[in-house]
Amino acid sequence: MKTGLKNLSQLKIGQSAIIDSFTDKDMALKLLEMGCTPGEVVKLDCIAPLGDPIAIFVSGYLLSLRKAEASTVLVSVIATK
């Protein structure tokens, strides 16, 4: 893993990040088809009461992902002021 990258599943509610890469080829294809492309900004919107799934804003819509799926996405967190 590159320095400074986190898994998408590690974001906190309201935190934004830029997609860097994927750790699972098969999952990457599925996520790419849903608009999760490298360079795309994502924002964690909410987490289900039991912690799974999570909902992110990406490519102009709200996408629900299981934590296992989100953990295959490496992101660079956007610093807030």
* CA 64 to each of CA 14, 44, 67: distance values in angstroms, whole numbers, following the listed order: 15, 10, 10
Of 41, 65, 68, 70, which is closest to residue 55 (Cα–Cα)?
A: 65
Task: Tell me what pLDDT residue 81 has.
Answer: 60
CA dist 76 → 3, 52, 61, 79 (Å): 9, 22, 20, 9
User: Does position 39 have pLDDT exceeding 80, yes or no?
Assistant: yes
Domain boundaries defined on the chain: 5-77
Residue-wise pLDDT for 7-36, tens only, equals: 999 999 999 999 999 999 999 999 998 889
- Residue 4, pLDDT > 90, answer no
CATH topology classification for 5-77 = SH3 type barrels. (2.30.30)
pLDDT on residue 35: 87
Mean pLDDT of the chain: 90
Give the mean model confidence (pLDDT) for residues 42-71.
Answer: 93
Which ranges of 1-81 does DSSP label H, i.e. alpha helix? 25-33, 67-70
User: Residue 69 pLDDT > 70, yes or no?
Assistant: yes
Reported pTM: 0.86
